[in-house]
Structure 1
Amino acid sequence: MLQQMLRAARLDRRVYTELIFDDYATGNAIMVVAGVYALIALASAFSGIPGISLTGVLLVLFGGVIGWLVIGGALWMAGVKLLDGEARFQTVVRLVGFAHTPLIIVAIALPLPSPVSTAVAIVALVWFFAAVTAAAQVLFDFERGRSASAALLAVAVWWVLQMIGIGPSLPMVFRRL
């Protein structure tokens, strides 16, 4: 699983292709997402972010898992319904789960001083977007532009939901940065 995470973070299209055909990797994708958000939540708690208690840690973790499903659903809708691609929902969320790997950097950024932590977090988010784009390219067999459009829509849906208060995980963390 760690090898697959590293390859997914390197935007290795072959690992995304392998994950399409590995139905058992869905459980690993759940563990990747839970692990990434657990690290972010723990880093938030240890970095002294106001409002992060045990409840806050659980909210970050729960919000991250819900976010994974929302991004997966939005990517599936964009790819299948809007851009006429073909993929099963389960396959989409599996690949999006592994695409979450670059967000581990957000946990590393939290203890850093503010301008540095913000820059590192932005790099992590851009990298995450690139990973979702790579997953979409493989999933839907789209060229890069269509894949990026689908990925942008999926990530934008999640960010809009977070900004209006549905899924408190990353906005709570980024207020500190």
Structure 2
Amino acid sequence: MERLIEELRKEIKADTEMTFTVSDVDSLLTADFESKHTAHSERGNSSPQYTETPLTDDAVATMDGWLDESYLHTINDKDVVAQLDEILLLLIAIRDGACGKELLQDIRRLFGTDLSPGTVYPHLNDLADEGMLDMTELAKRKVYRISDAEATFDTVEPAVNRLVTFSLVLKALMIDCNARYLQTQRSESNER
């Protein structure tokens, strides 16, 4: 596992040491969920006044040192759309509510991709229809908020875990394939 993390760190040009365990990640996710869920519960059913705010740098600070922006922006539109529900739910949770325009800007900022409103809004409407989001219509926009933080966490966490597992398995296979290729090259050059 350490070899895999080291190779992954080199591949994504990370400047910091990536030392974590599954329990570390689980603890962070649980603590983050509990703090968000407690804040959501304490707020009750009152709807605070919506104010448009930019996504803070804190929202992407966890990637600082792991991924440089140019690497993150190599993710193509198709990959973003494939995970769009999870991306939207997490962005809305981070913001504690957002309109579609803000979400489009956040996606552009995070992934360097310009999704059309015709791609994003149907996902937002589907999530609202499924009960994952509450939608409030204001004068010229709709504001989306997480309707149930626990259900959101239960929906997003398995998807994230699948993606991380899938990525790590693919990376491990690439490392093994590269090692075998280099070994074959050395064997062939020694035979000559």
- The structure with more helix, counted as a fraction of residues: 1
TM-score w.r.t. structure 2 length?
Answer: 0.31
Structure showing greater Rg: 2
Q: Which has the higher contact order (CA 8 A, sep 6+)?
A: 1
Q: TM-score, normalised by structure 1?
A: 0.33
